[in-house]
């Protein structure tokens, strides 16, 4: 199972610590492991199986589920009854229990391996599906994490207006503020905050595992962040046998921080979002030990206006989706299908590049098609030391770097609770998780100014209207440092 984490790295809160930096959310690292009863925690996040062929040889992650894409003419592509029968047939061939779990929003089938306790078990199941001419692809259900990274209190939003490495946002507000545009934040959910409450529209909690959800149940219509605090070792062990996490961690309120960067109200208090009059649809996919690709795929589908079985229709389809999360595996067909579906429905998807100082092509969704992949810069305009890089990066935006000063991080909305939510506050985080929502906010501004812009046109406009990074970037930082005013000026009203 591929696990995702938030992509934040460090945080300076007026109390709480953050978790937005690794994995599917890119927070401070890529930790994965195995999980309790709701279907085991991941064991060494995101390292299983190559996509399509589902080659799990040499994998260190215990694969506990596969996403199976059937060819369109196959009965299993449309009939759950046929998919159930096929899972039983494959179980017989592999000699391992296999069960059909549910149909994803893309039409693919999620099958689980309830008794798989070693990599070879998954290999046999994958081989059975791949031998079937009616199967188009088989990929692991991976674990993903948030992508932020951690520092100290900071209340000055240099990222919006400083001439050196800010994004030139205040001038852009003369042309658009995001009014009437809906942005979905696919993340840890959201905590109540006075700067966000008036703009939050009904969302959904897509976490299917009870243990991961940490709110007493699985999927439901309440996307509130229940907290993602952990005891040392609760997510299993890494490939070297070390506990994940290495020490007790507090709740990160990652989704709340990301939402504030996008759309915090311009009310003279605390902070202000890039698109401060946009609306937010919170979509919860990350909980304890991250989240899974199968849940994220359904969240992408639903947030962009697609249909997901047994989930009420989204009455507020998003023009823009932000995903500050990721996992260390190359993009597979299951992920690509969901992202293409979102693009076809007219939704621009913005994702974090990741926080491992490596080529972003090896990470998902950073390396996928139909996304705007965002690297992070520091206050001097250098590529942030943690930020991933490479040819798949489209653009760079402020992500902060707090190694020297907490004031050099990204200031946004948060909560003081170390476990469950207590009261609202603000905090300074760093990470590509913080960079991505700057571009999601810019996409919302562009969409307000010209509602007819397609996702491809928004991406090209962002990339065509950057400026050179004033600092250094090795490895590739896309088109350059984003410039909001320049991008808005290039667009005529629709």
Active site annotation includes 187: yes
What strands lie across the sheet with 65-70, from one edge to the other? 99-103, 109-112, 65-70, 135-140
Q: Please give the structure tokens belonging to residue 191.
A: 């905590």
Active-site residue identified among 433, 482, 483, 485: 433
Q: Which of 44, 150, 187, 225 is catalytic?
A: 187
Catalytically annotated residue among 2, 193, 254, 276:
254
Active site (annotated) includes residue 193: no
Give the Cα separation of 137 and 367 in Å (integer). 18
Q: Which residues are catalytic?
A: 187, 254, 433
């Amino acid at each position: 199972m591929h696990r995702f984490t938030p992509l934040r790295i460090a945080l300076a809160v007026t109390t709480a610590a953050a978790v937005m930096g690794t994995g599917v959310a890119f927070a401070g690292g890529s930790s994965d492991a195995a999980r309790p009863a709701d279907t085991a925690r991941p064991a060494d996040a995101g390292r299983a199986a190559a996509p399509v062929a589902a080659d799990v040889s040499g994998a260190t992650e215990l694969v506990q589920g596969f996403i199976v894409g059937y060819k369109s003419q196959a009965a299993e592509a449309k009939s759950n009854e046929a998919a159930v029968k096929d899972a039983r047939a494959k179980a017989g061939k592999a000699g391992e229990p296999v069960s059909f779990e549910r149909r994803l929003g893309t039409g693919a089938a999620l099958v689980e391996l309830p008794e798989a306790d070693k990599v070879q078990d998954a290999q046999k199941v994958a081989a059975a599906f791949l031998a079937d001419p009616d199967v188009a692809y088989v990929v692991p259900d991976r674990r993903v994490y948030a992508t932020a990274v951690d520092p100290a209190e900071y209340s000055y939003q240099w990222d919006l207006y400083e001439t050196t490495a800010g994004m030139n946002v205040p001038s852009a507000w003369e042309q658009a503020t995001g009014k009437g545009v809906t942005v979905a934040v696919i993340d840890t959910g959201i905590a109540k905050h006075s700067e966000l409450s008036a703009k939050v529209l009904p969302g959904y909690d897509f976490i299917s595992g009870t243990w991961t959800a940490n709110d007493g149940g699985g999927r439901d219509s309440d996307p509130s962040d229940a907290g993602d605090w952990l005891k040392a070792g609760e997510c299993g062990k890494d490939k070297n046998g070390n506990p994940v996490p290495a020490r007790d961690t507090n709740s990160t309120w990652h989704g709340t921080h990301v939402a504030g960067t996008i759309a915090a109200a311009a009310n003279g208090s605390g902070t202000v979002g890039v698109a401060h009059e946009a609306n937010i649809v919170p979509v919860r996919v990350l909980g304890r030990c991250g989240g899974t690709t199968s849940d994220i795929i359904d969240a992408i589908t639903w947030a962009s206006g697609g249909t997901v079985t047994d989930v009420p229709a989204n009455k507020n389809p998003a023009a823009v989706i932000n995903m500050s999360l990721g996992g260390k595996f190359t993009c597979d067909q299951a992920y690509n299908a969901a992202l293409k579906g979102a693009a076809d429905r007219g939704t621009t998807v913005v994702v974090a590049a990741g926080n491992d100082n490596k080529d972003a092509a090896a990470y998902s969704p950073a390396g996928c098609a139909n996304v705007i992949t965002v690297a992070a810069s520091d206050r001097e305009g250098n590529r942030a030391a943690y930020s991933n890089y490479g040819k798949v990066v489209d653009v760079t935006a402020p992500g902060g770097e707090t190694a020297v000063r907490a004031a050099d991080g990204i200031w946004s909305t948060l909560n003081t609770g170390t476990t469950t939510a207590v009261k609202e506050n603000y905090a300074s985080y760093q990470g590509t998780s913080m960079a991505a929502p700057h571009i999601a906010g810019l996409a919302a501004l562009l969409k307000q100014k010209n509602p007819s812009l397609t996702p491809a046109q928004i991406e090209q406009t962002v990339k065509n209207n950057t400026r050179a990074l004033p600092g250094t970037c090795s490895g590739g930082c896309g088109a350059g440092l984003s410039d909001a005013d320049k991008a808005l000026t290039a667009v005529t009203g629709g």
